[in-house]
Amino acid sequence: MTGAAAGKVLRDRNAGLYLTAVVVSGFGTSAMWLTGGIWVKSLTGSDSLAALAVFAMWLPVLTGPALGAVADRLPRKPLLIGANLAMAGMLTSLLAIDSAGRIWILFAVLVLYGVSGVLMDSAESALVAHTVDPRLLGDFNGFRMIANEGMKLLAPLTGAGLYARFGGGAVALLDAASFALAAGVYALVRVREPARPARTDRRGELAAGIRQVWGSTVLRPLVLAGAVTMLCAGLNGAALYAVVDDGLGHSPTYAGVLYAVQGGGSIAVGLLAGPLLRRLPERVFTAAGIALFALAVGVRALPYDAVALVASAAIGAGLPCVLIAAMTAVQRETPDRVLGRTSATANSLMMVPNAVALALGAGLVAVLDIRVLLPLIGAAGLLTAVLLVADRRVGSPLLERS
């Protein structure tokens, strides 16, 4: 059954094109994600500015509902093509950066990078829900996770190598080419989109995604659980280098090994997500993933390499479960007319806590031993998993009342 469903997804022309576009553009994005910080650091010598380069790409997630409303108002296939071509053009402007005085160009492009990412994710999510068999959405989102994580394993090394040999301009051109190629792939998608609804009041449009998430007894608990879990994930991520240094006694480069193992765990769960979502209730699948993630975070406090490697794989396998389940539920439960903004709203509600926790975690690591901090994070994750499944009565999940 697993192989049959996977085969159906991969044989579906539109699904295959969507996944190809994710792989192509994701390769360039992952390369630029790492290179942006390196570029800023090398030109300015500032660790703070280098960290802001990553934050600049995250910042537009805060405007997810507004950008999702744009995706709902425009034809989605042309939006995907146009946004990819626009990014390909904007990235070439980075060739003008030759000194610290022009680093503002990079920050401006990175912010626009984040804006286009939110827009394209919203439009793509809506198109996928419109063209892929609803029974295969979990499989598709699992494969999408595999594509994203696979690029994260390969592309950063390519980007770093290109930067070391040819400079940041070479990475910018690689990324521009990936966006141009993705635009061509999206142009091949065959889809007849429903007519866009007449424009209503603007404030109502912006709130539509929030109303859809909060008013659904299916979406609300999954998105809330996702938000708490991603908060825990951000705190765990902030503690990574303390685990590597203080806990395991390795150099910071060992973090790359743990990241690679974590990526392998995410690829594995991407293969299993669709079949599991067909066999288990969404909340059970999600809670199991959160519990696995939470237990792995807690045992990371133990100072053993073998434990750290197994825990990293378990984190990689457990953490994506809530994201896959929530976004699949959004695609299945949401009317097309508000699907773009609902997708963007759900994504913002789950991802913003991660960014906040990265900053909060940096302060906590400085004052709290990881042998205390990590078990506390794990306990919070386990509590979230328990609350998610403890009361499955419609309209009264415990997670909302806690």
Is residue 106 domain-shared with residue 16, that is, in the same domain? Answer: yes
In a domain, 184, yes or no: yes
In a domain, 400, yes or no: no
Q: Do 223 and 325 form a contact (C-beta atoms < 8 A)? A: no
The model's pLDDT over 308-358, given as tens digits with 9 standing for 90+, comes to 999 999 999 999 999 999 988 888 888 878 888 888 888 888 988 887 887
Q: How many domains does the chain have?
A: 2
Angle at which helix 305-333 crosses helix 103-131, to 10 degrees, equals: 60
Containing structural domain, residue 39: 7-191
Is residue 50 domain-shared with residue 176, that is, in the same domain? Answer: yes
pLDDT for the residue numbered 94: 92
In a domain, 48, yes or no: yes
In a domain, 271, yes or no: yes
Is residue 174 domain-shared with residue 127, that is, in the same domain? Answer: yes
Angle at which helix 305-333 crosses helix 282-299, to 10 degrees, equals: 160
Is residue 212 domain-shared with residue 315, that is, in the same domain? Answer: yes
Is residue 98 domain-shared with residue 175, that is, in the same domain? Answer: yes
Is residue 134 domain-shared with residue 250, that is, in the same domain? Answer: no
Tell me how far apart the alpha carbons of residues 348 and 72 are, in angstroms, rounded to a whole number.
16
Is residue 160 domain-shared with residue 290, that is, in the same domain? Answer: no
In a domain, 399, yes or no: no
Choosing from 132, 167, 191, the residue where a domain stops is 191
Choosing from 191, 225, 242, the residue where a domain stops is 191
In a domain, 397, yes or no: no
3-state secondary structure of 164: helix
Is residue 213 domain-shared with residue 183, that is, in the same domain? Answer: no
Is residue 111 domain-shared with residue 211, that is, in the same domain? Answer: no
CATH no. for residue 323? 1.20.1250.20
In a domain, 197, yes or no: no
pLDDT for the residue numbered 183: 93
Is residue 106 domain-shared with residue 130, that is, in the same domain? Answer: yes
The low-confidence residues of the chain, meaning pLDDT below 70, are: 1-7, 9-10, 47-48, 51, 193-206, 252-253, 256, 391-402
Is residue 131 domain-shared with residue 248, that is, in the same domain? Answer: no
The model's pLDDT over 275-315, given as tens digits with 9 standing for 90+, comes to 888 888 889 999 999 999 999 999 999 999 999 999 999 99
Neighbours of 154 (CB within 10 A): 14
**Exposed e or buried b for every residue in 229-251, given b needs 16+ CB within 10 A?**
bbbbbbbbbbbbbbbbeebbebe
Is residue 146 domain-shared with residue 214, that is, in the same domain? Answer: no
**Which token pair is 19?**
């996944």
